[in-house]
Amino acid sequence: MTSEAFDFDLFVIGAGSGGVRAARVAASLGARVAIAEDRYMGGTCVNVGCVPKKLYVYASEFSKGFTDSSGFGWQGDAPTFDWPTLRDRKKAEISRLNAIYERLLEAPGATIISGRARLLDPHTVTVEGQTFRAQKILIATGTWPYLPDLPGKEHMLTSNEIFDLEHFPKRLLIVGGGYIATEFAGIFNGLGAEVVQAYRGDLFMRGFDDDIRQFLAQEVRKTGVDLRFNTNPKSIEPSANGYRAVFEDDTELEIDAILCATGRRPNVADLNLECTSVGFNENGFIAVNDEFQTAEASVYALGDLIGGEQLTPVALAEGMAFARREFGAGGHVVDYDFIPTAVFSQPNVGTVGYTEAAARHSFGRLDIYRSEYRPMKHTLSGRDERSMMKLIVDQASQRVIGVHMVGPDAGEILQGMAIALRMGATKIDFDRTIGIHPTAAEELVTLREVDSD
């Protein structure tokens, strides 16, 4: 069928990071592009994810700064925190970013359609009563928070609502052990709430290096977060002063709010994918090939809902690769090796490459270098906070295959390490590199003693 038989060359469903990048690049390459969004421009990252989360992290860190400043000679009472000011200024910033995303799409000529899109067949989409024919359809609707099936789950908040609460919760229960739960524990603890973080497993942050997980738990507890492992609420009910959570061991907890961060599922409800051959993998994510093509030849998918690394830069890279391959010169692929990750917990986590367990499985014998130290700032602040760095080196080749850090600015430091690891840097390259003094980052090029092999 010729392109003239279609209204658009590409119809994108979902204006999040991956969808917007794909639509914008495809349009700039001359494709006729439409993009449909039923909530907000920019998707999860801009509206209820990375951006507002980082702004709230900044806000929460001021409380520690006010306290620590006395050790540097600053005197006087710390200012009080006003939740509505933070919440409303955040809303204004997100509105500004929403408008920027619209301009990014309009500039190359993409058509923006407001409303929930549904497929009628492998080439036909309907939005708010309008029907469009497209040669290719790209699904980029991301994921949606998942609530466990327990009595009272309707009283739980998700990361979609937590940013915009009418009243600040002085007592907050967070259920979950991933990076979202851990980041929000630090945020609300820093803003002045009493925070309990409950996780059903032995140790939170599953998938990260075990040393990092253990060290982070130690440091998070120092900040005042009540970490509770091997426990989970079995019911939630309203009480006279908020809510009562009853745990599996029958202990109870009175709180003002409950944040559930126990996972996310593909946001594909009402898309009517049943009219196509689009399939799902064993974990419930849309199955695609290396070109992001589903089992239906005209339908593609990328970003969080295909179940890979659920990170905004990954979705952006996938959107770019898809657009260039389908509407440009082709041949562009995404390299998923050595993707750096930052967790804006308090303290921060930065990581790139293999965990120790994964490296032992893939490489065998390793040289492990560790350093645990007190940040220079806290020699005067008096805060009982420590940092940790870890290098994982393949013993045979001496290539550095993993770098992990817990401490201030871990994400900023690990971005540079990601470049080094992708280029195949060895421990000798690290040793020959002169550090910047005095910084935390110089620790990574001064590690000399092998901790274990």
* pLDDT tens for each residue of 118-152: 999 999 999 999 999 999 999 999 999 999 999 99
pLDDT at 1 over 60: no
Give dist(CA 401, CA 391) in Å, integer: 8
Residue 367 lies in a domain: yes
Give dist(CA 330, CA 334) in Å, integer: 12
Say which residue the tokens 């036909």 belong to. Answer: 124
Give dist(CA 403, CA 424) in Å, integer: 13
Residues 387 and 436 in one domain: yes
Residues 191 and 130 in one domain: no
Q: What pTM did the predictor assign?
A: 0.96
Residues 254 and 300 in one domain: no
Residue 398 lies in a domain: yes
Domain final position from 303, 327, 351: 327
Residues 133 and 20 in one domain: yes
Alpha helices in 191-309 (DSSP H): 210-222
Domain final position from 212, 228, 262: 262
Residue 379 structural domain: 341-445
Give dist(CA 56, CA 87) in Å, integer: 9
pLDDT digits (tens, 9 = 90+) for 307-332: 999 999 999 999 999 999 999 987 77
Residues 16 and 130 in one domain: yes
Give the type of residue at 273: L
Residues 305 and 406 in one domain: no
What CATH number does residue 366 fall under?
3.30.390.30
Residues 127 and 271 in one domain: yes
Q: What's the whole-number mean pLDDT along residues 188-207?
A: 98
Residue 35 lies in a domain: yes
DSSP 128: T
Residues 241 and 96 in one domain: no
pLDDT at 453 over 70: no
Is there a catalytic annotation at residue 437? Answer: yes
Structure tokens at 367: 């040289």
What CATH number does residue 102 fall under?
3.50.50.60
Domain final position from 327, 358, 373: 327
pLDDT at 169 over 80: yes
Residues 284 and 322 in one domain: yes
Alpha helices in 364-445 (DSSP H): 378-381, 410-422, 427-432
The number of distinct structural domains making up the chain is: 3
